[in-house]
Structure 1
Amino acid sequence: MHSNIEVSAVLLSQEQKQWLLSLSGHLSMQNGYSLDSLVNTNKNYTQEGIIRGNQSVLKNAYGVNSKEDLINTFDAFCNTNRSQHFMMCMAEHVRQDLISKRYHVDRDQNENRGTELGIMLGWGERHKTYLARCGIRAFDIGRYAFLCRCGVTVGLITEDEAWYYLARIGKVAQPLFTNWQEFATSYIVGRCVWLEIETKDYDFDSNFNFRYDVAGKVNDAAQDLKMILSDDDHPWCQLNWEIVI
């Protein structure tokens, strides 16, 4: 897909737009942005400052310097290699022979501990039922939606183009999850895999509780998601996941 693609106009209701913006819920909250409009806004900063911050995120965190870069990133986030590998780990977790054949490794947990594969296997085992359909796709979807908002804010894409791309990822997201809680779980597990955090750092008797010493990497994100899910005024607690896109 190239930057000069002609996108079709997408007619969306206000509820549909709110649902699509809410896919960026965690990153929007983390940066103090509301979900009231497509453009990122924060009452504590000037719009010029927000634009500079979004430009920095796009360039330094994602290598996006142009409209074409942004659209290529959207394409990649529709299903990254890491997401595909995680699904393979969950699907094959109980099959020693398939794991060994595909990854050319011994399935011994101690052997793989600390490696990307070992981390995926650990999280895959923990969530092979709950995330069987969606895996860690929410982490890619959430970033896609947030970068779409950044792209509009800095002027790389128009609002019409943004709604086109958000509707596109919305159609990918909707059949993968059954509710916002599942979306949040998929997101935080995806973040853990991305940051190479092992399951031993997680307290599975509680919801999104991590050891204090990993707070700098993921605990803050987990706390934000818990706040979202317990906030009756947040769109996640008001919008039906099954809304038609």
Structure 2
Amino acid sequence: MVSLSAPVSRDRDASRTTLYPFTRIDDDKARLWLAGQWEIATREELLGRLGGLARSGYRASARARYGVEPLAWDIALYTDITRRGFGCGLLDEADAWNLLRNVVPQLARTYDSWQEYAEDYLLGRRIWREDLSGRASSPQSLPAPQSVADAHVTALLDPADRKSPWNLVPWDAIRRPDRPVGR
């Protein structure tokens, strides 16, 4: 489940296979990121934002404008925010896992592979970035170009990359999140 946020987490110090979002303990980094990127400072704000992403997220405006619903984009963000909420202590471990489990059924019904999930994630990011570019004061204020996200997701899908979280766990494991892989 934690690997659902892998396309969002491009930082070198990001952990893509553990609930804790970084390779080293850094609760302040998680707290600052939530405050700066999402204006989340309290548990209530965190749960409210997660609820919005789970219910409709960015896919609601994408559906209205383009007739598509890139669920993967919202779930990648949801997973990333959940992990960072755990990382800074706004969520305990049990709450974080329960929140992640809550979005799995819809995800499992929607996608059949990491490839499908990746394609929909990139579509959602493209729509989000286009919407931002229409409101941005300058190109420098925009997040990383789409080509950076495309390259990152391509690397996650590369079958030669034995360290990719998407190669470590088959997509079907999402349907049995409480069982170890291979059972």
TM-score (ref. length: structure 1):
0.60
Pairs within 5 Å for 1:157-236: 157-196=91-130, 216-230=144-158, 231-236=161-166
Residues 28 and 35 in structure 1, CA contact (< 8 A), matched pair in contact too: yes
Q: How much has 1:26 moved relative to structure 2?
A: 1.4
Range 188-197 or range 137-146, more displaced: 188-197
Does the 8 Å CA contact 2:8/2:77 hold for their aligned counterparts?
yes
Which amino acid in 1 is paired with 2:154? K
In the alignment, structure 1 residue 141 sits paired with structure 2 residue 75? yes
Post-superposition shift, 1:84? Answer: 2.7
Counterpart residue number, 1:39: 20
* Residues 93-127 of structure 1 deviation map (CA, whole Å, 9 limit, x = unaligned): xxxxxxxxxxxxxxxxxxxxxxxx4xx36xx5xxx
1:51 paired residue among 24, 27, 30 = 27
In 2, the alpha carbon distance for the partners of 1:41 and 1:169 equals: 22
Amino acid at match of 2:165: P
Does the residue aligned with 2:20 lie in a helix, a strand or coil?
coil
- Find the aligned partners of 1:84 and 1:215 in 2 and give their Cα distance: 21
2:17–2:165 CA contact under 8 A, matched in 1: no
Render the CA deviation track for 1:143-173: whole Å, top value 9, x for unaligned: 1101111011100010011000011122221
Structure 1 distance, partners of 2:22, 2:59, is: 30
Structure 2 alignment gaps of length 5 or more: 132-141, 178-183
How does the TM-score come out when normalised to structure 2? 0.79
The yes-or-no answer on 1:239 pairing with 2:169 is yes
| Conserved 8 A contact 1:177-1:183 | yes
The answer to whether the Cα contact below 8 Å between 1:39 and 1:150 also exists between their aligned partners in 2 is: yes
* Cα distance in 1 between the residues matched to 2:79 and 2:86: 11
Structure 1: tracts of 5 or more residues without a match? 1-19, 89-116, 125-134, 198-213
Letter matched to residue 152 of structure 1: F
Q: 1:60 aligned to 15, 36, 42, which one?
A: 36
Structure 2 residue corresponding to 1:28, chosen from 9, 13, 24 = 9
CA distance in 2, matches of 1:83, 1:179: 20
- Range with bigger deviation, 142-151 or 31-40: 31-40
Percent of paired sites with the same residue: 22
Report how many aligned residue pairs link the two structures.
Answer: 163
Instruction: Tell me if the contact between 1:78 and 1:172 (Cα under 8 Å) persists in the aligned partners.
Output: no
Between the aligned partners of 2:152 and 2:143, the Cα distance in structure 1 is 12
Q: Which runs of 4+ in 1 moved over 6 A?
A: none
- Larger displacement relative to structure 2 (51-60 or 184-193): 51-60
* Structure 2 Cα separation of the partners of residues 87 and 196 of structure 1: 15
Q: Distance in 2 between matches of 1:36 and 1:215?
A: 24
